[in-house]
Structure 1
């Protein structure tokens, strides 16, 4: 038997041990499995295969750790690192360091955890952005995310809050920063790849629902990934907490969330001059309530008004009531959720006797790094308004939206009355072909604000960039949207589920990198700075009232920014709504996401 066959035999032996280990209860003996791994290790050393030796030692460390033999685990892992040397840094070295972090954490040796995580995170960051496809980069973090979680925890325990935040940032929607960097480069719109992609998008849009050939979808996805690789920017710039704090106004504070495990949540409060952080351990009932709420929002099946009411009480365990940073008195809050919390409307939590939105203007940010992106606001306003009431989309039996076109017309008139140039497309004139034509001529890029009143659909967790909204004759999905060139500072999606982002997908219960996908991600990639979207299906009358009030305050100059305009619009709605329509379901799905800070100087 040759060397290759011997290696295969050892690997099969380790696989059997791994399966046996998973099938046994935590308290069961594993002495026989340890003996089997020791035998495999001897064979690996005879073969003089450093990576195979390291793999056998990793397997032994897993068994020892499960048996509570922590110090032996650390010794074995140190041997694994020595056996490997400089080989396999992107996978085996990182696995060894991740297991070491687990072991030192069991001993609560936070200084050693801190050092091990520093080394491991540096290796992961060295390799992860070589994967340009976002889902691949997210999947790469799947078995490595523990280094970041323990890195955050150890920094917290050592009181190094700035390092805690900086480590959390590295695994929190980092991909949006690489795409933001790519916006500085003008994609080659005349390339053969781009032209084929656009032609396929038009072809796919002509098919009835459920009849699109899989080969067309697969081909277009491949082209999109190729263009993402070609257009991708360099690795994101390093994040520094002080730089993010310097962008804040005295009346602003950030609520920053990061899950360390399923029930342990790090909550940091940050303002211009200070930071305070706490660890909160949720009860089983609290975590179940969050998961149930997210399912209701994302699945939107047989939902009732009462499904969304529990959020009013979530503040008891999600808001940092005892923080040393006085966020409750700030006029503006920037909220950076994490994982399941992206489906929770924080602005609909109760604080004392008010909704949070009544106390502060609220915007949501994917991470703190986006605060370091600065842009110059448009010197002139131009608005494009699109509304569709009746739909003729092949294979789709879409309900009529009785308020959509009148909402669009009202928004259009609001801006015209205030001397702001506005163009209105509604009904059969609001087509995908019209939008594509405007983009190809560069007209679309001139508009500082876009408003769409139409149908939207739930985010698809396995292919979220194919989430879409509808125009009069076809759908327009995230893959195609992301290739547009937009100059819009604000995009309003007055459509069902238009602000959703997936929290799982492709076999992952949670996205380890907390990546931003869905319609809002597509608009951000196209160049938008703020997206007003919705978390679940919307009531058309509430959507019209809130949307028109929002635009009115921007158009007449009463509010200088969308965050304050949305706050005023929702507060006005709450003051005039009846008991039924004052329920969370009607007004809370509307929220504003932002990337970058306007540089008014």
Structure 2
């Protein structure tokens, strides 16, 4: 659709029609923010040209997108579209808008309910008008709403026509799961939810792009909640583990095929870098050409990265077989209301409820502010006040999340898998894990797929970005640790984006000391500053073979944006999606002194033969530095 857009003509109306259609595709791919931004830009075009029918259709599509994440707003938008359609005499379109309004009212997140008689009337009208897909979706939404309130069902679950779209087919599975759960048949609820997710997997496997992999999770939300909730009620560790892995594995079960060299993508990214670095005021964000470049780079990456098959999800027994006597897996599971952790060793698995979660959840919003202040205020009278506030918050979080979970006899190493609600937690700073060897894995399946305790070393690369206070000193420390390996170094004006991506393609261990940035709206435009501008997540597609281990001595390089309540996307995830085994990064701001001294000591441990997680833990103990650096992926 993007490439066909110029063929439609150059008039504002023709382009607006194309953009409306493209917004529908973006919405169905889970890119609701992008879809809604596009729809917001075309609505005034139809308004200026006095085309109220087209403008109302844009509002209808906008309500459909909002329905996935903001039912309250969706109901208002759909009601506005319905009134506009009726004023024009477009009754069929008005009924379609009524269907979206009622589905929004039936959402579990809506504070208002819908009139059931009106739902039946509108659903019948939709079917009579030939909109079987929308009629089915409305009736299934009513079915789920009734189940959630324990209300009786006057008829069997609405039959889903074979021509139904993927979202309606999944809604059918969710309706059957909801009925089963309401009847106390949790095994059936889990089976229906699993069948729906299997259909989603079959549809998803053509997408290799991390952007799309994480976005299509939009369609899995209801099924994952149904399956996880039913699994939690079972109280069985094996059942809950299966469902926790289903959720974590969903967005990285497709094996990506590395995209071919794309000169146009490279040129677009280079122009973006030039515009960003040439204007420190941020006004470049208002330039329509910048938005076009950003969108073009993103969509080229979507289409170029193919799927190369499906990774099989590991069973509990298979994961246990990879856990030695000194290693335990802590799999945190969030059902939407409750948090628990599955503690797994080679011999047993048990579910540990975390009743302190409600209190701990209130501490998380202020944690980032405390961490940022502690990193920036290190001396003076305020430093002690800030430190005490941070220490109290970390101790409370540790008590609620970890103190019970880490009481595993003989366990010296921990593998953590965490839901999106805990994304950004500085685990290395929580008292229960200070100085201990651990790794934060995207899933137990991915962690168990790597060989254990692989030695780090071989070809080593070092890159230093501009204006890093102790960047040169840090690079000297890393180079000294690996002196016997003759590390390849890029400093000053030599550390350009092209040079660093080329270096990444020929080393086994890459250390980058640079200022980082996290793009909340588009996480793959996160990156770190090199001599000629930002190295984006999209630039990693230009690296044919990524390093085994990457160390990002860069503020916020470990930060992620959470999509659809679960999927965390940021620079660490981009490296791992590309094939990197372990990434050392921090999710928050880190003081330059702490980064330089701690990571220098870590590299000395790596060069001596320690694994990544063990080297980082030992460096923290030896230096006495408490910093949020942690290992993502497979640190041992």
TM-score band, normalised by shorter chain: 0.7 to 0.9
Instruction: Show the counterpart of 1:540.
Output: 592
Shift of 1:326: 5.3
Separation of aligned partners in 2, 1:80 and 1:492:
53
Structure 1 residues 296-311: aligned runs within 5 Å: 305=387, 308-309=390-391, 310-311=393-394
Cα distance in structure 1, aligned partners of 2:455 and 2:430: 34
- How far off its partner does 1:52 sit? 5.1
Aligned to 2:63: none
**Greater shift after overlay, 522-531 or 304-313?**
304-313
Checking the alignment, whether the CA contact within 8 Å between 1:497 and 1:536 is kept in structure 2 is yes
User: 1:156 Cα shift?
Assistant: 3.6
Q: In the alignment, does 2:431 pair up with 1:431?
A: no
Partners of 2:376 and 2:602 in 1: CA distance: 30
1:278 equivalent to 2:352? Answer yes
Equivalent residue, structure 1, for 2:243? 167
Residue 496 of structure 1 is matched in structure 2 by: 555
User: Deviation at 1:553?
Assistant: 1.5
Q: Tell me if structure 2 keeps the 8 A contact 1:491–1:530.
A: yes
Match for residue 361 of structure 2 among 287, 299, 303: 287
Alpha carbons of structure 1 residues 225 and 173: separation in structure 2 relative to 1, 3 Å: same
Which residue of the other structure, out of 423, 435, 442, is the alignment partner of 1:342?
A: 423
Asked whether the 8 Å contact 1:204–1:216 carries over to 2, the reply is: yes
For residues 367-410 of structure 1, give each alpha carbon's deviation from its aligned partner in whole angstroms, at most 9, with x where no partner exists: 1111242369579622112234xx3xxxxxxxx43311011112
Cα 1:298–1:99, aligned 2, differ >3 Å: closer, same or farther? farther
Q: Deviation of residue 415 (structure 1)? A: 1.6
1:14 partnered with 2:99: yes
Alignment CA distance shift 1:475-1:9 (3 Å): closer
Residue among 392, 413, 419 paired with 1:332: 413
Q: Secondary structure at the match of 2:364?
A: helix
Q: Please, which moves more after superposition, 288-297 or 402-411?
A: 288-297
Question: Counterpart of 1:470 in 2: which secondary structure?
Answer: strand
Corresponding residue for 2:606? 554
Given that residues 14 and 59 in structure 1 are in contact (C-alpha distance below 8 angstroms), is that contact kept between their aligned partners in structure 2?
A: no
SS in 2 for 1:142: helix
Q: Secondary structure at the match of 2:485?
A: coil
CA distance in structure 2 between the partners assigned to 1:379 and 1:445 by the alignment: 16
Q: In structure 2, do the counterparts of structure 1 residues 528 and 91 end up closer, same or farther at CA, with 3 Å as the change threshold? A: closer
Report the Cα distance in structure 2 between the residues aligned to 1:471 and 1:216, rounded to whole angstroms: 20
In structure 1, what is the Cα distance between the partners aligned to 2:300 and 2:231? 42
Give 1:70 shift. 2.1
What does 1:106-255 align with in structure 2 at a 5 Å threshold?
106-172=182-248, 174-178=250-254, 181-182=255-256, 187-189=259-261, 194-207=262-275, 208-209=278-279, 210=282, 211=284, 213-229=290-306, 232-255=307-330
Alpha-carbon distance between aligned partners in 2 of 1:480 and 1:383, rounded to the nearest angstrom: 20
How far the C-alpha of 1:241 sits from its partner, in A, is 2.2
Residues 572-587 of structure 1: matches in 2 within 5 Å?
Answer: 572-574=622-624, 587=626
Moved more, 166-175 or 488-497: 166-175
Which residue in 1 is equivalent to 2:6?
none
How far apart, in 2, do the equivalents of 1:24 and 1:473 lie? 46
Which whole-Å CA distance do the structure 1 matches of 2:168 and 2:104 have between them? 20
CA distance in structure 2 between the aligned counterparts of 1:69 and 1:275, rounded to whole angstroms = 33
The answer for the alignment partner of 2:402 in structure 1 is: 319
Tell me the distance in 2 between the aligned counterparts of 1:519 and 1:426.
21
Q: Supply the distance in 2 between the matched residues of 1:227 and 1:282 (Cα, whole angstroms).
A: 46
TM superposition shift of 1:491: 1.3
Between stretches 376-385 and 236-245, larger displacement belongs to 376-385
- Farther off after superposition, 521-530 or 133-142: 133-142
User: Unpaired segments of 5 or more residues in structure 2?
Assistant: 1-88, 378-385
2: CA distance, partners of 1:135 / 1:406 = 36
Assess, with a 3 A threshold, how the Cα gap between structure 1 residues 233 and 545 changes in structure 2: closer, same or farther: same
Q: Deviations over 1:424-450 (max 9, x none)?
A: 3323332334325xx2xxx64332211
Q: Which runs of 5+ in 1 are unaligned?
A: 392-399, 505-510, 575-581
How far, CA to CA, are the matches of 1:302 and 1:415 in structure 2?
31
Distance 2:353 2:165 in 1: 32
Q: Does 1:363 align with 2:439?
A: yes
**CA displacement 1:102-161 (0-9 Å, x = unmatched):** 454345442342333233333333323345544444443335323222212323433543
- The CA deviation at 1:95 is 1.4
1:18 and 1:525, CA in 2 relative to 1: closer, same or farther beyond 3 A? closer
| Equivalent residue pairs, number | 529
Partner SS, residue 542 of structure 2: coil
Post-superposition Cα deviations, 1:151-182, rounded to whole Å, max 9, x if no partner, equal 1232343354323222222221533342xx33
Which whole-Å deviations, capped at 9, do the CAs of 1:64-117 have from their partners, x for residues lacking one? 457x45222xx54x2413xx3544262223213323434543454423423332
Instruction: Indicate the residue corresponding to 1:264 in structure 2.
Output: 338
- TM-score, length-scaled by structure 1: 0.78
How many Å separate the matches in 2 of 1:532 and 1:315? 21
Match of 1:409 among 476, 479, 484: 476
SS at match of 1:476: strand
Q: Is the 8 A contact 2:585 2:631 kept in 1?
A: yes
Partner of 1:387: 464
How far apart are 1:346 and its partner, in Å? Answer: 2.2
1:93–1:522 distance in 2 versus 1, CA, 3 Å: closer
Are the counterparts in 2 of residues 253 and 271 from structure 1 also a CA contact under 8 Å? yes
Deviations 1:430-472 (A, max 9, x none): 2334325xx2xxx643322111222112x22211111111123
Counterpart selection for 2:140 from 58, 65, 69:
58
Say if 2:525 and 2:538, in contact at 8 Å, map to a contact too: yes
**2:53 match:** none
CA RMSD, aligned part only? 3.4
Task: Report if the CA contact (8 A) 1:244-1:369 is conserved.
Answer: yes
Aligned with 1:588 (options 627, 631, 635): 627
